[in-house]
Amino acid sequence: MGRAIIMFSLGLMFQVLGQVVYSYYIFIEHIDIPYPSLGDVGFFGTIFFYIYGIILIAHASGIKFSLSSVGSKIQVVLVPFVILLLSYFLILRDYSVDLSQPLATFLNYAYPLGSVVYISIALLTYSLTRSILGGTMRHKILFIIFAFFAQFIAEYCFIIFQNSYYPGSVLDYIYAISYTIFGFGIFQLFLPLKGLETKKVDGKVTSDTVIESTVVNTVS
């Protein structure tokens, strides 16, 4: 779980990198955002952290216990396929391969496909573990999955409507909302884990409210 939180945080930091670079082009250089640019290092780099982070969440949510049934195996194939289809009809079918701009062409396909990967894992995590996942972490993990969905929506909206983008447009607003949701998701995921840590007081390990006795007898 801790590693998942770190991955999500790094993913968001990379988004910040992308946003800062884009802002530099817009507000300092006063030029159209080049594509690709250093900002794409941030935005594209995010995808790897998000994918690894959601894999860790899926593992923590007990997805391996839910993969034995036929229905689950069907979902594992169907969910990514449906999202891939969605991606194709919304975005990919309008792209063509332009070998004179290999990096731009690569990113054109990699952005939507990378998003397909992490949102598929997120949706599968929800659908395959909702019957087994419980306790205090259940709602927090579900919120993180919702945060992924918000981020996915923001990214696809930007890809689809990027030609009409301008600073302060509704696309920026959608991104701001998704970042807020994601940041809050990370924070609320982190809090219960932090609260359960034992503390050291005067060299003695303690729980939240009880000081453990240092003299114990083992019953044989």
Partner 1 sequence: MDNRYQKAILNIVNMQKQIIGPLAMDMARRVGAIKITDGNVEIIGDPKDVLHKLVKEYEVLFGALSVKVSKDSIKEMNFEPNELPEILR
Residue 4 or 83 having the CB closest to partner 1:
4
Minimum distance from residue 56 beta carbon to partner 1 (Å): 9
Nearest to 1 by CA among 127, 174, 147, 137: 137
Q: Between residues 100 and 220, which has the closer beta carbon with respect to partner 1? A: 220
- Decide whether 135 or 168 has the Cβ nearer to partner 1: 135
Closest distance between partner 1 and the C-beta of residue 65, in Å? 6
Residues forming contacts to partner 1 in the complex (CB under 8 A) are 1-3, 59-62, 65, 129, 132-138, 192-193, 196-198, 205, 207, 210, 212, 216-220
Instruction: State the nearest-atom distance from the C-beta of 109 to partner 1, in Å.
Output: 34
Neighbours of 151 (CB within 10 A): 27
Kindly tell me which of 91 and 186 has the beta carbon lying closer to partner 1. 186
Q: What whole-number distance in Å separates Cα of residue 144 and Cα of residue 142?
A: 5
From the CB of 218, what's the least distance to partner 1, in Å? 5
Q: Which is nearer to partner 1, 93 or 199 (CB)?
A: 199
Which residue's CB is nearer to partner 1, number 12 or number 189?
189
Specify the DSSP element, H or E, that contains 97: none
Task: Report d(CA 115, CA 112) in Å as an integer.
Answer: 5
CB of 145 to partner 1, least distance (A): 15
CB of 136 to partner 1, least distance (A): 6
CA pair distance 142, 216, nearest whole angstrom: 41
**Containing H/E element for 191?**
helix 170-195
Separation CA 130–CA 212 (nearest Å): 36
Give the contacts of 213 (CB within 8 A, at least 6 positions apart): none
Q: Residue 37, Cβ neighbours under 10 Å: how many?
A: 15
